[in-house]
Amino acid sequence: MNSRLEKLISWLKDQQIDAAFISSPDNVFYLTRFRCEPHERLLGLVVFQDNEPLLICPGMEVDDAKSSGWDKEILGYSDSDNPWNLAEERIKARIPKVQSWAVEKDHLNVSRYEELANRFEYTHFVNADHILNELRLVKDEQEVAAIKKACELVDFAVEVGANELAEGKTELDIIAAIEYEIKKKSAGMSFDPLVLAGANAASPHGIPGLTKIERGQLVLMDLGVIYNGYCSDITRTLAFGEISNRQKEIYDTVLKAEEAAVKLTKPGIRAKELDQTARNIIRDAGFGEYFTHRLGHGLGISVHEFPSLTETNEMKLETGMVFTIEPGIYIPGVAGVRIEDDVLVTENGVEVLTQYPKTLQIIE
């Protein structure tokens, strides 16, 4: 049994929960190393206190599951099967009654919840989100290596985007070039890339379109690459041609806030201290109302995971955590600037994994 599963099993024992039904593809990947995108089909990892775990997946994926290293039982089903009938049989062969289920309450949908509730003699459902989020908080060596590679690739993606900037090109032209170059490196994007020009960047999660890039604009690029199942997430805001003093002031403020938070990062410090440090710098510069989101988020198998770097999160940082630091200033109708790095908490402090320059890059 791998050590990740062992930790989940010892939690089941401590909490006296009969079984866990894990269904989010990210958590299934974390526990089994089998990456599956099941769409509407059923994917589930059933974990027991003392019985062999059972992986349930579409029949056509069984070979993939085996070749990713899963050597325990697999229940593959066809599109004409009712997978729940088959699963019920295999689960009841292990333990006749499941009186408590651990499930991902933030993920499990209602129809699957009802299957679990109605087919097994249950007493209650316990939320497994917390324990799984906790298990994934501190990355092991292999995970860090994959994230580092994803960061290397995303630095390259920004470089491609920067080289592509030219008058007359649209936001989507730049994105197409980035995606093509990343594909050629046998990798993929971890989320739909954002390239937002001028006032479009004032919406932190704006939708790129056919807006043409113009000289004198700040262009925000928020990009992520996935490598071996692990994600990177970077934002750089580049100047296309000369920009105004006001734009520079916004940029410098974000940069100062970002660098201060990075510098403060080390084991033992609380998540909220990083957010507050960056937020105070932006507030003191008079832009407080325009920094409309948290400072950052954990990064790994999911683009967003624990820890969450908010103004109020008391969580103490530990060696091996990986997260983003990404303050921003968004002035509606004017401009948006965000600078985002991925960082690893180390014994001595911090290692910044994304390397693309942060000093204002003026692209001519």
Which residues in this chain contact Mn ion in the complex, by CB under 5 A? Answer: 222, 233, 235, 324, 340
Closer to Mn ion at the Cβ: 31 or 157? 157
Least CB distance from residue 340 to Mn ion, whole Å? 5
Least CB distance from residue 30 to Mn ion, whole Å? 20
Closer to Mn ion at the Cβ: 64 or 159? 159
Measured CA to CA, the distance from residue 200 to residue 47 in angstroms comes to 47
Least CB distance from residue 206 to Mn ion, whole Å? 12
Closest of 63, 151, 159 to residue 357, by C-alpha: 159
Measured CA to CA, the distance from residue 47 to residue 118 in angstroms comes to 19
Bridge partners, residue 195, by sequence:
221
Least CB distance from residue 338 to Mn ion, whole Å? 8
Closer to Mn ion at the Cβ: 259 or 342? 342
Least CB distance from residue 194 to Mn ion, whole Å? 8
CA distances for 281 relative to 5, 250, 255, 258, 336, angstroms: 43, 12, 10, 9, 17
Bridge partners, residue 222, by sequence:
194, 235
Least CB distance from residue 201 to Mn ion, whole Å? 12
Closest of 318, 178, 298 to residue 233, by C-alpha: 298
Closer to Mn ion at the Cβ: 273 or 342? 342
Least CB distance from residue 327 to Mn ion, whole Å? 11
Closer to Mn ion at the Cβ: 117 or 352? 352
Q: Name the DSSP letter for residue 213.
A: P
Q: What is the DSSP string of 271-316?
A: HHHHHHHHHHHHHHTT-GGG--S-SEEE-SSSSSEEEEE-SS--PB
Provide the residue count of the chain: 364
Q: Where are the alpha helices (DSSP H) in the chain?
A: 3-15, 25-32, 62-67, 83-94, 110-119, 129-137, 141-164, 171-184, 245-264, 271-284
Measured CA to CA, the distance from residue 225 to residue 230 in angstroms comes to 8
Q: For residues 169 and 213, is the Cβ–Cβ distance under 8 A? A: yes
Bridge partners, residue 54, by sequence:
46, 73
Least CB distance from residue 296 to Mn ion, whole Å? 7
Hey, how many other C-beta atoms are within 10 angstroms of the C-beta on 2? 13
Closer to Mn ion at the Cβ: 21 or 230? 230
Closer to Mn ion at the Cβ: 8 or 154? 154
Least CB distance from residue 308 to Mn ion, whole Å? 11
CA dihedral 160, 162, 164, 167 (to 10 degrees): 170
Closer to Mn ion at the Cβ: 44 or 328? 328
Closer to Mn ion at the Cβ: 200 or 235? 235
Closer to Mn ion at the Cβ: 21 or 330? 330
Hey, how many other C-beta atoms are within 10 angstroms of the C-beta on 306? 22
The token duo for 196 is 């937002």
Least CB distance from residue 248 to Mn ion, whole Å? 22
